[in-house]
Amino acid sequence: MRTLYLQPAVTLAAALIAMPLAAAQDKRVDYQAELPKSPGVGESGYHVPPPHGDYPKGPFGEAVKRGEALFTDTQTNAGEYVGNGLNCANCHVDAGRLANSAPLWAAWVAYPAYRKKNDHVNSMEERIRGCFTYSMNAKGSKVGHAPEPGTPLLTDMEAYMYWLAKGAPTGEKLPGRGYPKLDKPPKPYSPERGAKVYADNCAICHGDTGQGRHTADGKGYVFPPLWGKDSFNWGAGMHRVNTAAAFIKANMPLGKPESLSLQDAWDVAAFVNHHDRPSDPREKGDLADTDAKFHKHQCYYGDKADGKVLGTGTGN
């Protein structure tokens, strides 16, 4: 696990897992084999960011360092904008370095970009603010919204991303960007079957009821919550069954990427997302309208689970 940077408590748990990251990375190369290689790629076929801790000197290096800390420990360093129990690096694994885990180096060279989600060309700053709004549920935070444009911590995060992307070509879709697109499952995905996959492969870390596991002081999480009030909200990309399935197949169980079958990855993603979580911040009192406008994709928003309409939220 040499190359995997995680918070200390997680490192301990992760160290118990046998599969070395290097081997895991090798397995993933196949996925992207047909994409053009960029100059400066390592043997893995993916862009290699500068080594951990090898920061540039001077004020810029300080900004990079702060950006990394914001990204890995968002709770401590940008907690006023976070309304759940997550850190950015929970879904962008290895401090945003890991290929196929939406790595930051691949994102950096791809913006500004048009996004269907908001129907205009987004700057990187806006993209980051979007992850605060949805993945980090900013509306439930002390401030109540994502950092305003121009807030210095956004510049620090961009400095970190820019540094990770050193040598990568701008404007190319780099191998390893985002989460690898999955084939359709052999059978339609099913939360019922997914419940068993979850119990067998995930509950040990994420808890029987998806609530995650707290650190010893109870303030943060060693294993992040997958649903409920401390997880991402109904507007986050991860609430889509296809996006969660792709992330899970390539990254979970932690330390055993690519170990689930295609069917199991889809089923467990369906199970995880067939639970309530903080409401969609775009919803202004009319769930059916929000459903029609923003949820025409693979998700359970507006469906019923345990007699309750999903999307009505968890109180924050």
Nearer to ligand HEC, 189 or 223 (CB): 223
Alpha carbon distance 212, 134 (integer Å): 19
The beta-strand segments (E) located in the chain are: 113-115, 120-122, 213-214, 221-223, 304-305, 308-309
Angstrom distances, CA of residue 68 to CA of 62, 83, 108 = 10, 20, 14
Phi, psi of 289 (to 5 degrees): -65, -45
CB-based contacts of 88, cutoff 8 Å, min separation 6: 70, 71, 72, 74, 96, 131, 135, 136
Count Cα neighbours of 45 within 13 Å in the Cβ-side half-sphere: 17
Cβ proximity of 182 and 262 under 8 Å:
yes
183 CB-contact burial (10 Å; exposed 0-12 / middle 13-18 / buried 19+): exposed
CA dihedral 280, 283, 285, 286 (to 10 degrees): -110
Residue 205 in contact with ligand HEC, rule: CB under 6 A: yes
Question: Restricting to residues 267-286, which ones interact with ligand HEC according to CB under 6 A?
Answer: 268, 272
Nearer to ligand HEC, 57 or 300 (CB): 300
Select the span of 41-49, 172-180, 289-297, 301-309 touching ligand HEC (CB under 6 A). 172-180
Question: Restricting to residues 179-198, which ones interact with ligand HEC according to CB under 6 A?
Answer: 179
Residue 164 in contact with ligand HEC, rule: CB under 6 A: no
Residue 211 in contact with ligand HEC, rule: CB under 6 A: no
The interface mask with ligand HEC, positions 97-126, x = CB under 6 A, is -----x---xx--x----------------
Residue 6 in contact with ligand HEC, rule: CB under 6 A: yes
Nearer to ligand HEC, 117 or 184 (CB): 117
Which of 88, 164, 241, 250 forms a contact with ligand HEC (CB under 6 A)? 88
Q: What is the contact surface with ligand HEC in residues (CB under 6 A)?
A: 6, 10, 13, 17, 74, 86, 88-93, 102, 106-107, 110, 127-128, 131-132, 135-136, 157, 177-179, 201-202, 204-206, 223-226, 231-232, 236-238, 243-244, 247-248, 252-255, 260, 268, 272
